[in-house]
Structure 1
Amino acid sequence: MEKSESVKELFVALTKFRKSLKQPLKDAQNPFFKKNYVPLENVVETIDKAIVDTGLSYLQEIAENRVNTIITHESGQYLIIGGSEVKPVKPDPQALGSAITYAKRYSLCCAFGITSDEDDDGNAASGGKPQQQAQNNQQRGNYQNQQRNNYQQQGQYPPRNY
């Protein structure tokens, strides 16, 4: 993260911004993953409403295959939040535009503290599908209950690692 020598006034303004920020509704749906999310235009609208009278402004740049978000303050102070690398799925303009839009949304959300996706408690990152993990947890719980019942029926105490 790159920043001006001093960021005191910028951080005071960001605190004021955060106090007026209202998280946007996740009103768009990704049909492939069947998940709701906040589209870029709603992220921008949410930021633009909360940024009024804070002295803050922002812009985004594409540099070295990344979308960076630059937050500026009327005092001249600034903060550059580096984004993730933009990697389009296909080498055509439409795929690049889609990847840039996606990166802009995530970069803005990160920079301004906006939750834009449903929280899946890390299931996607751990390689599991939420529904499958729930089934696995239920099966594991059923097995543990069955083991506990077996020990109790035999008049024994189950081991601690059941």
Structure 2
Amino acid sequence: MVQMLESPADWIGQICFKSISGLKPEDALKAKLALMSSFVNVQRKLQQPSKDKQGYGYKYADLNGVIKAIQEASEDEDIAYIQQPITVGGQTGIHNYLLNSQGAIFDFGSYLLDIGSPNPQEYGKALTYARRYSISAIYGIASEDDTDAKEFNSKPDYMTPKELKGMTIAYNGKRKDLTEVFAMAMAGDELAKQVIKDKDNSVNAKIAIKSISAIYEFSKGLLKDRDKEKAKQEAQDAQDQKIKEIVDGKKGSTKKKDPFDGIKA
């Protein structure tokens, strides 16, 4: 089994540039330079794939089109890629590597998605999405029309209770019902509070949390109104009782005495 050498390694931002173990320093450097040269050549030769698919209101190149464009540009180069499916902290995604036959490795890190419902269909969709987006970003491929801002702005402000049903979020390394985590946060659970307030939550998770919060505030308002109405009714009942007691007391004090009381027949 080939082992990755953790050090020495070079970093380009968040990208780790390393080589397999067992190479002499000069061979490791040669391998890295060769991989970098091949990567530059592929970028230079790569033709943008046709955006011949239609969906979600825009045109895009599917994963097959993206892979084909990369393979054609890499045909005469000593370079390959690996997209490793991973699951981390309840999130699903891809870890990307570029490598060559000389032992150099570009480690591009992980591209993770919060898919919400971890069923096989959603898992497969998430992997395809992660593969296409991450490899496109690495090679500079514009795989779809630039509609991210439009798509984000078109997201609904709130979700319905039906849409919220089954929504989950990563909590303590596992998927947990979002409404339950929200309730735990409201009850004082510090980890749940961090999860709910996490700025890196997906757009859908943020909308769901906003929706649950709105439902909570609305319900709290209803309970408050109900308590006010109940207190008002209790005060009115107490007032009515006092009036009744006063009226009954006056009736008792003004009642005329029967003149025949005490006279035996």
1:99 aligns with 2:126: yes
Runs (5+) with no aligned partner, structure 1: 130-162
Letter of the 1:29 partner, please give it.
Q
Note closer, same or farther for the CA distance 1:96–1:25 as it changes in structure 2 (3 Å cut). same
Q: Is the 8 A contact 1:40 1:101 kept in 2?
A: yes
Moved segments of 4+, more than 4 Å: none
Q: Could you tell me the TM-score, scaled by structure 2's length?
A: 0.44
Structure 1 residues 83 and 116: alpha-carbon distance in aligned structure 2, compared to 1, 3 A threshold: farther
Structure 2 unmatched ranges of 5 or more: 1-14, 20-28, 156-265
Q: Highest Rg: 1 or 2?
A: 2
Residue 39 in structure 1 maps to residue 62 in structure 2 = yes
Q: Give the letter for the 1:55 counterpart.
A: D
CA contact (8 A) 2:94 2:130 kept: yes
Equivalent pairs: percent with the same residue?
A: 27
Q: 2:99 aligns to what?
A: 72
Q: How far, CA to CA, are the matches of 1:27 and 1:17 in structure 2?
A: 23
CA–CA distance in 1 between the matches of 2:76 and 2:132? 23
User: Looking at both structures, which has the greater relative contact order when contacts are Cα pairs under 8 Å and sequence separation is at least 6?
Assistant: 1
* TM superposition score normalised by structure 1: 0.70
Which residue of 96, 109, 112 corresponds with 2:136? 109
SS at match of 1:58: strand
Q: Which amino acid aligns with 1:47?
A: I
**Residue 128 of structure 1, CA deviation:** 5.8
Q: CA RMSD in A?
A: 2.0
Residue 59 of structure 1: how far off its partner (Å): 1.2
Q: Does 1:15 align with 2:29?
A: no
Q: Distance in 2 between matches of 1:39 and 1:27?
A: 8
Aligned: 1:2 with 2:16: yes
Which one-letter code corresponds to 1:3 in the other structure? F
CA distance in structure 2 between the partners assigned to 1:121 and 1:107 by the alignment: 15
- Partners of 2:146 and 2:17 lie apart in 1 by 30
* Larger CA deviation: 92-101 vs 113-122: 113-122
CA distance in 1, matches of 2:128, 2:150: 24
> Which is helix-richer, 1 or 2?
2
Matched position secondary structure for 1:104: helix
